[in-house]
């Protein structure tokens, strides 16, 4: 029987035999290349975890950051979590499984990444918290952001200057719309604005007619435009039927949009000064057509450069450049931070500032 088989094999024609061997060889090469991909240790992988690419800021900034990192020879993997916290946790775990050497994380919510951060710590992967601080963990190594308190003081100072509050010959009605209570930045924005305006609130030059005078009362879950609009509509219907609202301090552009939409529904008084933050395209258009007064510009290239620089320094073993080691206590430790400088934008400077920085083209603003 065995003899019989050998004889059969020997009788296979040499050409067929050659083809068979070649096919086996190719199959073997394919399996070994795809199954046992080993990482080139000289190429470092940077994992970027972002809340969602539906939000203009994160869609633009993650791609700019990826390009800068690639120019420097890093491999980059970006994951967007569709604003879903459990998805963000598993995406970070996935980035760790893919051997990320550094993680750059823009959290959806400051305090919700515990499990994923524990895993990063176990693998000794440095984590840079980008824009929003990751709280309640010691696994976050560094924080890059804009000076969040300063964003608020810029808004407050703008109101103070435009209404010339030091020489006011009448009082002004004011309302506040703050951000998401789950976002560590939101309190900094609100407090910065209130701290500048407090002397005028105390003296009665500024009056919060609704009486909603704390972060908790003014907060907007998820920074959601519809929720900001709903709250503003309620305030207008309850307190501003026969009096004007002069100022509305909205912490950012999504909430400012809610306020301007609420005013459009039924408000008949003189139009208020409205603040914002981010220079989102629709809000800049509103600034140009008078539906919003100002926004705060956080030039992404500043934040991206600071973050990419930090990545370089981590690998080079040089001391990592930070400019704040006092402000950002995350519930476990003070996170060494690099804070970039924001600036205000209004109808007088927005075209010049936003186009010269390359943030928008002239066509986009038309």
Nearer to ligand BGC, 62 or 277 (CB): 277
* Distance separating alpha carbons of residues 31 and 47, to the nearest angstrom: 27
Of all residues in this chain, which one has the CB nearest to ligand BGC in the complex? 252
Shortest spacing between CB 55 and ligand BGC, in angstroms: 6
Nearer to ligand BGC, 215 or 239 (CB): 215
| Contact in structure between 128 and 102 (CB atoms under 8 Å) | yes
Identify the helix (H) or strand (E) that includes residue 197: helix 184-203
* Distance separating alpha carbons of residues 65 and 54, to the nearest angstrom: 17
Q: Which residues of 34-47 are buried (b: 16+ CB within 10 A; e: fewer)?
A: eeeeeeeeeebbbb
Out of 210, 277, 286, 295, name the contact with ligand BGC by CB under 6 A. 277
* Distance separating alpha carbons of residues 178 and 223, to the nearest angstrom: 8
Shortest spacing between CB 43 and ligand BGC, in angstroms: 31
Question: Which are the contacts of 312, defined by CB distance < 8 A and separation ≥ 6?
Answer: 72
Out of 101, 147, 175, 278, name the contact with ligand BGC by CB under 6 A. 278
* Distance separating alpha carbons of residues 162 and 160, to the nearest angstrom: 6
* Distance separating alpha carbons of residues 321 and 337, to the nearest angstrom: 9
Nearer to ligand BGC, 105 or 132 (CB): 132
Shortest spacing between CB 148 and ligand BGC, in angstroms: 7
Q: What are the tokens at 222?
A: 């998820």
* Distance separating alpha carbons of residues 61 and 53, to the nearest angstrom: 10
Out of 141, 144, 185, 286, name the contact with ligand BGC by CB under 6 A. 185
| Contact in structure between 208 and 175 (CB atoms under 8 Å) | yes
Under rule CB under 6 A, residue 105 binds ligand BGC: no
Q: How many residues bind ligand BGC (CB under 6 A)?
A: 8
Nearer to ligand BGC, 176 or 223 (CB): 223
Shortest spacing between CB 309 and ligand BGC, in angstroms: 20
Under rule CB under 6 A, residue 252 binds ligand BGC: yes
Under rule CB under 6 A, residue 183 binds ligand BGC: yes
Question: How many secondary structure helices (H) and strands (E) does the chain include?
Answer: 13, 12
- Beta strands 247-250 and 273-274: pairing type? parallel
Nearer to ligand BGC, 191 or 252 (CB): 252
Nearer to ligand BGC, 61 or 246 (CB): 61
DSSP category for residue 1: -
Under rule CB under 6 A, residue 299 binds ligand BGC: no
Under rule CB under 6 A, residue 109 binds ligand BGC: no
Q: Which residues of 61-85 are buried (b: 16+ CB within 10 A; e: fewer)?
A: bbebbbebbeeeebbbbbbbbeeee
Nearer to ligand BGC, 94 or 261 (CB): 261
Under rule CB under 6 A, residue 257 binds ligand BGC: no
Print the binding letters for residues 209-238 with ligand BGC: x by CB under 6 A, - otherwise: --------------x---------------
Nearer to ligand BGC, 245 or 296 (CB): 296
Nearer to ligand BGC, 132 or 262 (CB): 132
Shortest spacing between CB 49 and ligand BGC, in angstroms: 15
83, 95, 84: which is closest to 119 by C-alpha?
95
Three-state DSSP at 218 gives helix
Angle between helices 148-162 and 184-203 (to 10 degrees): 30
Print the binding letters for residues 114-153 with ligand BGC: x by CB under 6 A, - otherwise: -----------------xx---------------------
Shortest spacing between CB 205 and ligand BGC, in angstroms: 28
Binding site for ligand BGC (CB under 6 A): 131-132, 183, 185, 223, 252, 277-278
């Amino acid at each position: 029987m065995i003899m019989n088989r050998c004889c059969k094999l020997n009788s296979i024609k040499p050409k067929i035999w050659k083809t068979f061997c070649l096919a086996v060889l190719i199959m073997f090469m394919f399996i070994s290349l795809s199954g046992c991909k080993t990482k080139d240790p000289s190429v470092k992988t940077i994992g970027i975890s972002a809340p969602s690419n539906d939000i203009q800021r994160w869609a633009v900034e993650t791609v700019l950051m990826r390009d800068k990192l690639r120019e420097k020879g890093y491999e980059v993997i970006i994951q967007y979590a569709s604003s879903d916290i459990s998805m963000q946790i598993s995406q970070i775990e996935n980035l760790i499984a893919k051997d990320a050497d550094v993680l750059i994380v823009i959290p959806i919510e400051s305090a919700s990444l515990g499990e994923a951060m524990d895993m990063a710590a176990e693998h000794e992967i440095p984590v840079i918290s980008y824009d929003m601080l990751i709280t309640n963990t010691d696994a976050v190594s560094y924080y890059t952001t804009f000076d969040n308190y300063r964003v608020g003081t810029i808004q407050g100072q703008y109101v103070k200057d435009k209404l010339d509050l030091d020489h006011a010959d009448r009082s002004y009605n004011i309302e506040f719309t703050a951000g998401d209570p789950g976002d560590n930045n939101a309190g900094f924005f609100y407090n910065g604005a209130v701290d500048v305006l407090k002397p005028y609130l105390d003296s009665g030059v500024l009056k919060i007619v609704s009486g909603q005078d704390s972060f908790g009362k003014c907060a907007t879950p998820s920074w959601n435009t519809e929720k900001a609009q709903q709250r503003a509509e309620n305030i207008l219907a309850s307190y501003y039927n026969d009096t004007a609202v002069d100022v509305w301090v909205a912490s950012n552009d999504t909430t400012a949009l809610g306020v301007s939409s609420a005013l459009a529904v039924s408000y008949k008084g003189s139009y208020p000064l409205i603040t914002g933050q981010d220079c989102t395209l629709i809000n800049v258009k509103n600034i140009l057509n008078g539906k919003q007064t100002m926004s705060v510009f956080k030039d992404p290239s500043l934040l991206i450069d600071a973050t990419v620089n930090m990545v370089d320094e981590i690998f080079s073993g040089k001391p990592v450049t930070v400019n704040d080691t006092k402000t950002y206590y995350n519930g476990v430790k003070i996170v060494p931070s690099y804070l970039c400088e924001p600036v205000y934008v209004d109808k007088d400077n927005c075209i010049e500032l936003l186009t010269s920085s390359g943030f928008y083209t002239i066509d986009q603003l038309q």
